[in-house]
Every structure is written in C-alpha cells, then in structure tokens.
Structure 1
C-alpha cells in the first residue's frame, strides 16, 4: 500500500467509527415453512410493533447463528466486497452526521441482507480499549484478519448493543465488518461501532492510487453542504445548490423515485468546474411526487453518495384542471392519473377508462400481479382494483383469454388473512391493511363463489361469508373507536379505496351501507382537519413525504375532487376508485373548508381504543393549529406527529425530537417525521406547548422545528423568539433552551434547533385582526413572561389568554382552570367562536 493516498477525516475518542469502504449489499429472497399468525390489529400502536414477530424470523435467526460469515477478501488498495472477494467496493461511505453505517430501506418480501465494510484504524501507541457494537441485525467483526466477535441479536428495528475489549498494537489495524439482517418491510439495516478508549486514534481510509485525498475531502464537504432552496419545485430546472471545489467538472449519476412505491429511475447530471449550483434536470423529468434523489459522484474507482428529498409538482401536469362540477373534477383527476400516475394497477385502470394504451395498461397489471403472486407487502393495496378491472373489462375483448386466466389464478392463489399459512412478510396488523385484506377477500369470494382458493383450501362462498363477518366487525369497531391512525394523510386514502370498492361492488346491502357511512365519516374528519383543502395536522402515522409534500398527497386531491378545494395531482390509490364511483361526499362538509377570515372554531374529538388519541384543532380561515394531548409522553415514539401549525401547503411549522440523525433517512421515526421520544403536549386555541424529557441513551440530544424561512413573507428573531409572517397571519416559536437557525446542510434556512434532553417549546399563532401589524405581534409576544423548569413545567402570561401553564402530570391549565381533554367521542364537539 506504499503508493496509496490515505484519508484521515477525524480523530476518535468515544466516537463512532463511521467512515468505511463498503461493498454492495447482497440481497437474497428467503423461503420458509408457511405458518399462520394471530393478534389484535391495533394493539401495536400502543405497545410497539415488536409484539408481532413473523414466524419466518425465528427460523432465519436459528440458522444464521449456526453459520458465521466468511471474512472479506484481503486489502488490495481497498477492501473486499464479500466473503473471499478481492475486488474493491464501489462506495466510500460517509456518515453525513449519522453515527451509523446504514443501508436501511423497505423490502416487500423476506430478504436476507448481507454487506461487508472495511476501514483502517491507526493507533499511536499500544493500548486496550472497549468497542461497543450496536445493531438491529448482526455484526461479525474481524481485526487484522482475526475473528473478534459474531454479535447476532436480530432484534427487528430495535437496537441491541454489546461491549467487547480489544487490544491495539501501535500502528495500522484493518477492521472489517459483515452486517446482516432479515428484511421484513421497513428495515433499519445498519451497524455502529463505537470506540470507548482514551487514546486519540485515527480512521485511515485507503483510497487507491488513482484517487487524490484532497479531492475526496473537498467533495465530501461540498456534498455535506448541498441543499435545495425550497422544498417544492413547480417548473423549470430542479437546481441543487452545491459548490464545486475542483478545477474540473464532476459527473453525477442520479437515482430517484417515490418512497416505497414507484419505479426507480436514473439520469446523469454534471457539476461544472467551480460552479455554485447544478441543474439536475427539468421538473417534468422527475414526474410528480415527493422524490428522494440519490446523488452518486465518481472519483477514480470510488463513488460517494448522498440522499436528498424534494417535492416535485410540475405545473405542466395540471393540464386537465377544471372549475367544473364533481363529475368534471373526477374526469380531470382520472386523466391526470392516466397521464402522470405512478405505474401500478390503479393507474392501469385509469388508462383503460380514458382510452389510453391498452398495451401499457396490460404491462402495469402484469407487473402488479407479479408482486401479488409473490405476496409482496402491500399487495392488498393493489389487488383491490383487480376486481373492478374484471367486472368492467372481462368481456371487452381487449385482453387475451390467457391474460384473464392469469388474473383468475392470481386471485385464487392469494393469502387473504393471517390465519392462512404463509412465508411472506405482508403486514396485517393495522386497520388499513385489515380493511383491504377483508375487502379483497369479500370481492374475490363474490367473483368466484365456486372457485377453489388454493392457500386456504376453501371455496369462494366460504371466503365471502368470512369476509362479510370480518368487515362487519371492522366497521363496528371503526364506528365505536374511529381511526387508530388518526388524521393520517398517508392512510386516509388507503382506507378510502376499501370503502369505495365495498360501496360500489359489495353484494351485501348492509356492507354497502356501512361503507357509505365510513366514507362520510372519513370526509368529515378530513374537511374539519384540513386547511384550504390540505390535511396538515397532527397525524397518527406520518412520513416526511406527507409533511413536506402537501401538493401531491392523496388527501389533497380527494378534497379537490370532492369540493374543488385542494390540489389536483396524480395520486392513484384512492382516487381512481373515487373517480369511477357515483359516491359524492356530503355537501354539508364544504363549509369546514371555506371558513371566512372572521370565522374560527375549535374541534375536539377522540380516536382509537378507549379514546387514546385526544385531539384538538383550532382553525380559522387563515390558519390551523392542531395537537394530540397526553399521548405516551416520555415514551419512545414511532410515526406520531404531535402538533402542527399550517398557513398553507408549504408554509408549515412543527416541532419534533428526531428519531435519527440522518436527514432524509428511512427511519420510523425519521429526522422530521415522528418523535424519538414523545412530548407532553397541551393546546389552548392558538397557543401550543410541548414538554420534552428525552432518554440520554438516544442518539439525538436536541429537538428542532421545521421553519422554512424561504416560504414565509418575512421572519424575525427577538428576545429568544423566532417570528414568521405568511400573508396577514403570524407565528411565533420559542424554546426554553434557546434557538438557533440552521446555516448549513440540506436544512439550511429551514430548521430551528434547540439543544438539550429536557426542554419546553411554545408555538403561538395569530393574525392581523387579533394582533395588529406583524411588528405589533412581535412586540406583544416577545415581552411575554415565561417560567420553565426543564421538561417538567412551563408557565407564561399570554396577552390574550392570560396565565397558561403545562405540567408533566396534568392537562393544560388556563387562568387556574384545568382544560378538559377527553369525553368528546369519535364525533367530537365543534365549537364556533
């Protein structure tokens, strides 16, 4: 290795060893003995998803623990990519602030993942130290070719750790890792290696003779600072702000697509020499959606990758926009989906209904059936539309008899519930999946009453009878408890597609009636909790794409189709069915979307088992502030979104404790969606308070707020508060531990950070009628007297509301009176002010 450049990016003392040469991940579908499962569909929301373990995991873990991986190939100017392999890996792994070495993602079928990584450690003197191994899967560790440990917790998205003692000689040590897991849907696939010693050791990366150390260092710095000026692009070029530090152009390979669903696409871009920005392509090149873009830059034999996210809402895709009645809006949405929708079974149906390409539709259906036949997770989301296709096109002559026989076999061979045997990782344990599975089972049984369903051994008539019973139980629970995944912009549309298909296709008049009542209730929740047709509120399940992508989510287009208020887009899951149905949402709910500037109301309601989601929404014609009270405060979170302020589709503000340090990561919770640890929340009208008490074992020792300064008409900082104006509405935000505006990286100018494990936040919203000018609002709020005791208690004297305080063990108190947070039921109480 005499002629190699070496890279020393940081010195380590009680830090993660997180720069590596990393190989390609080997993915292998795993088959198991088919087994059944059981359990309550919503219990995991309170108790954690780990209460449900697929039987396949037990079998996999047992076999893996009996077989230690082979060590990687020897160092040849780099690291081997796999057991016994001498070829170099394709990637130089940089952490971008993440202490983990991570390749997390989503796998639709059970998949064995295996990845090798190698780095070098330079020790200035001989010494002993502890190393901490952290993973959710397994870590096999070699130092200087000797097996040190094979740590195999396999704890499914929950970290496990182990400390070992290592003896370091003076000089260079080669450290190699194989990390593995069994991917089941969303999978936190990573390892972490923490040095626990007292010596100042170095990470030394062998780069190879064709790579210049300084160029790698400069490119890492440039990518770490890359950002989009705003989180939405409407037209023209998609421009990434990134400075080229080199004297030559840098070619990039882009891979992009929607999260989980949608085909990944690739394209090339070039960062000119000494440029300050790079055009990634025209907005239309990326399609419509919230796009995760992976940038890969090549330097010699190495690549360096960085992931970013941005919403693309191309104005050119709105060619069918209309101001007509609901029928005209349905036609416009159907045409938009047919032209611009993600390739799937729903979009195929839109193509057929708009006289589009039959060949293209058939290709989409066939790909969709391949996924259903493999029992890929979320198959129920797509299978549900095959029944409409069969009903409307079986005798059309558009497709061959062989095609229809393939569809028939697809339907007859499916696994319709967890009590049937399977070796898949389809998720049954949520209300949206349960509804879709039962809907598919009913429609399949109706379609082939005499058919032999191979997985259960039952007839279609037997399946129909079971499904009717299951659906009645599901609807009875829904009408008693509401939605466990309250207000979820991600899952309202999934529920809706089940309701609509039952409303249109079920033979049972009782099932059709229940589906209609459920649809009406869904629109009731959606209109009450939406602002200008955008469901931007507290959510039971949230993702970054819904929090930052309000133009392109299904609820925005469902509102637009129903009432002409919201946004036309290409969302297909619910909206193809909605457009083809005679169903129209209640006209009486329109008024909830069209509040005048002087109108305002409070809507309090409950959702979930025992009313565990105690929800509050203060809404005016200008803004809305919503929250959930007393939801598992101080406990680890998942995807719950606790408090949200919105002025419009882009002008939003919320606070959370990041579940992971990686920006645009795939964790649940992630950096922006959900909470690593949940806060205590209290709200009174336009005032919200959050108290955080975070376990020091968590990676993230700060909380932050989404604060997109480029979207606000103006913003200011005074006396520890940050202020924003959007039109004639105002927001103020405060953290007891202080605030600073992010000046670096992908969230530059969009993030307020506050350090500390115990903290208290305030969000205050008002408008011109209540508070006068923006400057007057600032003066009134900046002078508020505040008392805070870590994350235990906060009290303030609000100029409009009086003395308000929130304690960890009590509901919010206003002028000495404890505010009622429960007893409102699933229909709730609507109070106009």
Structure 2
C-alpha cells in the first residue's frame, strides 16, 4: 500500500466519497398520457409502482450515461454506522436527481475484486472511462443489491460513480458498496467540505387566504396567496389537494370582482384541470392513498357540484359525473 492510505478489508464498506452537488430536473412535467390503473396496485389496495415510475424506468433505466459529463467532485459524503451513504429527501413534485461520486482504491495486483453493490436508485461505475458495473433497479425506497467484480489495476484506481433516482415525495436515495474479497485493498482518504442540504420550501397558507376573504380584506397579500395556491395545484404538487380545497371554498365564498380577471379565470381552469384520482390522466408524485384518499374524494365531489356541466380535463368526465363518483367513493371509504 501507498503511504497515507486507509485499509479496506473483507466485509468493509466504503464510507467516504468525493461527491458533486445534486443535479435536479423536473420529470414528465408536460406528460399527458394515461394515469395509473388498478393493475399497478397491490390487492390490499395499497400503492405499488406508480405510473410516474413506470415511465421513468422505461426511459431512464437503460439509457447511456457519459462519464465525460461528470460534474465536479468538490464535496465529501460519508456514511453513518450502517456504511450506507444517503442523499435521501423529500420533493413535492417528481424530480430526476443525479449526483457523481469518486473514490480512489489501491489494488496490490491486477485482477477482478468482488463487491456487493447496493442502491436505492440506479448506479454505474467506471475506471478510466471503462464502465465496470451498471445496476439500475429503481425500486422506490427499497435497497437492492447485486454482486459485481470490478476489474482493478495494480496501484491506484480512480473510480467514478453515477447515482440517480426518481424522487416521489419522501424518497430514499443511497449507495452501499461493500468489499467481499481478499486481499485487503488500500483506499485513499478524501478531504473537502460536507455536501449542503436541500431544504423544502414551505407550503402556501390557504387558511390565511380564507381568513382575508372572510374579513373582506382584498389586496396584494390576497392576490399573492392565491397565486401561490394556483401554482401548487396546477403543478399537482404532493399535498396540493388541500390547497385545492381552499380554491373550492374560495369559489363558493368570494366574488369575482374581488380579484383580477385573469387570476379569477385561472381558479376555474385549475379546478377543471386537476387530477382527482389515480385513474385519471397525468404523471405526478401525489399520494392518493391512506388518509389522503377521502380528501381526494371530497374534492372530486365538491368540484363536480360547482361545475356540473363543465368537462374535467384529466378524466374527460362532466362535473355531475365527478360529483356522483366522488360521493360514491367517499361513502365507500367511510362505510
């Protein structure tokens, strides 16, 4: 081994990497295809693989990744006691998140060395531009493992690793790389600044808007709050169904002349364009299950009652049909 190396013995995980900042891109922002159907959910009624993830796997799992496009590795990432390096977090919308990692391993001789490679997401490994491993299960929040044999040269081997995942609400995004072979390898220590966290912005305050309306206090603050609600619902962010309920209440209680005409027209178009259940068209990260289910049903019923003769875009149903269906679903949940 070279002077100043660490030691990677059989059963040890690599715990420190050089790492890039995360690159985030909205996924399927303008996708208008069919939504998920019952076949994508378990018999228990709990969600299985989302339609959004199915599209992601079709388009991203087997795509080529060019190592020459790697981002600068200016930070360090380290694991906890488990040996798992995690970049997990929460996103209100579907985002494709990518990061690059690097580590220098010193081998005593040329040969293939066994590693157990685990990921929540997908992982690719290169040495000197040659791809040594590609494992892209993309099973949300479930660590998957594969045995790989990495071809290393005698001396220092600079490994470049690409890690990516589709974020849907709370998402585990991690890497676990455990050495399984003999003899022990050397590992060059990494130094640098820890990676910065990505905070989630606060959600709009619908209660504040309704309070202003109840007090007949109109003005720039009410306009700004309404714009934020419209933006969240139009994007179908996670949790946006609660903001939608505010818009429905607003439509019933407010007067059209209290808001600028373009903003008020957008309230109606946003209500008609929303996705009220997983069987309607759209590709997003909304959670329709558990405690959220009756909220979606109530919103569907209320929206249909407000616009009985209008056609709702995501379902192609008229409002009176949405009202009846939402009511039936709500009764089924509460039965």
Contact persistence 1:427–1:433 (CA under 8 A): yes
- The answer for the alignment partner of 1:360 in structure 2 is 221
CA separation in 1, counterparts of 2:265 and 2:22? 37
Aligned with residue 388 of structure 1, among 249, 255, 259 = 249
- The answer for the alignment partner of 2:269 in structure 1 is 409
Answering whether residue 51 of structure 2 is matched by residue 67 of structure 1, we say no
- Post-superposition offset of 1:95: 2.2
- The answer for the alignment partner of 1:369 in structure 2 is 230
> Which has the higher relative contact order, 1 or 2, with Cα contacts under 8 A spaced 6 or more apart?
2
Contact persistence 2:40–2:51 (CA under 8 A): no
- Post-superposition offset of 1:110: 2.6
Aligned with residue 419 of structure 1, among 274, 279, 287 = 279
- The answer for the alignment partner of 1:440 in structure 2 is 299
Per the alignment, do residues 408 and 351 of structure 1 end up closer, same or farther by CA in structure 2, a change over 3 Å counting? same
Per the alignment, do residues 415 and 343 of structure 1 end up closer, same or farther by CA in structure 2, a change over 3 Å counting? closer
- Post-superposition offset of 1:168: 3.2
Per the alignment, do residues 42 and 382 of structure 1 end up closer, same or farther by CA in structure 2, a change over 3 Å counting? farther
CA separation in 2, counterparts of 1:67 and 1:378? 31
Aligned with residue 22 of structure 1, among 19, 40, 64 = 19
Aligned with residue 459 of structure 1, among 309, 318, 325 = 318
CA separation in 2, counterparts of 1:391 and 1:17? 58
Answering whether residue 181 of structure 2 is matched by residue 185 of structure 1, we say no
- Pairs within 5 Å for 1:299-698: 343-353=204-214, 358-395=219-256, 397-430=257-290, 432-476=291-335
Per the alignment, do residues 35 and 139 of structure 1 end up closer, same or farther by CA in structure 2, a change over 3 Å counting? same
- Pairs within 5 Å for 1:210-249: none
CA separation in 1, counterparts of 2:197 and 2:148? 39
Answering whether residue 148 of structure 2 is matched by residue 164 of structure 1, we say yes
- Post-superposition offset of 1:165: 1.6
Report the secondary structure of 1:93's partner residue. Answer: strand
Q: Deviations over 1:584-603 (max 9, x none)?
A: xxxxxxxxxxxxxxxxxxxx
Q: Deviations over 1:169-225 (max 9, x none)?
A: 332110111112222222211222111123333331455xxx7xxxx7xxx8xxxxx
- The answer for the alignment partner of 2:131 in structure 1 is 147
Contact persistence 1:438–1:470 (CA under 8 A): yes
- Post-superposition offset of 1:255: 6.6
Contact persistence 2:112–2:152 (CA under 8 A): yes
Answering whether residue 122 of structure 2 is matched by residue 138 of structure 1, we say yes
Report the secondary structure of 2:284's partner residue. Answer: coil
- Post-superposition offset of 1:406: 0.8
- The answer for the alignment partner of 1:117 in structure 2 is 101
CA separation in 1, counterparts of 2:156 and 2:93? 41
Report the secondary structure of 1:174's partner residue. Answer: strand
Per the alignment, do residues 419 and 125 of structure 1 end up closer, same or farther by CA in structure 2, a change over 3 Å counting? closer
Report the secondary structure of 1:158's partner residue. Answer: coil
Per the alignment, do residues 122 and 361 of structure 1 end up closer, same or farther by CA in structure 2, a change over 3 Å counting? farther
Report the secondary structure of 1:452's partner residue. Answer: coil
- Pairs within 5 Å for 1:11-50: 11-13=7-9, 14-31=11-28, 32=31, 34-39=33-38
Report the secondary structure of 2:258's partner residue. Answer: coil
Q: Deviations over 1:710-735 (max 9, x none)?
A: xxxxxxxxxxxxxxxxxxxxxxxxxx
**Structure whose CA Rg is larger:** 1
From the two aligned structures, give the one with the greater helix fraction: 2
CA separation in 1, counterparts of 2:131 and 2:314? 45
Q: Deviations over 1:144-183 (max 9, x none)?
A: 3311011111222212111112243332110111112222
CA separation in 2, counterparts of 1:150 and 1:43? 29
- Pairs within 5 Å for 1:716-795: none
- The answer for the alignment partner of 1:174 in structure 2 is 158
Q: Deviations over 1:249-288 (max 9, x none)?
A: xxxx98786xx6x43xxxxxxxxxxxxxxxxxxxxxxxxx
Per the alignment, do residues 256 and 17 of structure 1 end up closer, same or farther by CA in structure 2, a change over 3 Å counting? closer
Q: Deviations over 1:451-500 (max 9, x none)?
A: 22222222212211212222222221xxxxxxxxxxxxxxxxxxxxxxxx
CA separation in 1, counterparts of 2:139 and 2:40? 21
TM-score, structure 2 normalization:
0.86
CA separation in 2, counterparts of 1:143 and 1:92? 19
Contact persistence 1:72–1:176 (CA under 8 A): no
Q: Deviations over 1:782-828 (max 9, x none)?
A: xxxxxxxxxxxxxxxxxxxxxxxxxxxxxxxxxxxxxxxxxxxxxxx
- Post-superposition offset of 1:441: 1.0
CA separation in 2, counterparts of 1:459 and 1:167? 61
Contact persistence 1:41–1:428 (CA under 8 A): no
CA separation in 2, counterparts of 1:154 and 1:42? 17
Per the alignment, do residues 98 and 351 of structure 1 end up closer, same or farther by CA in structure 2, a change over 3 Å counting? farther
Per the alignment, do residues 41 and 124 of structure 1 end up closer, same or farther by CA in structure 2, a change over 3 Å counting? closer
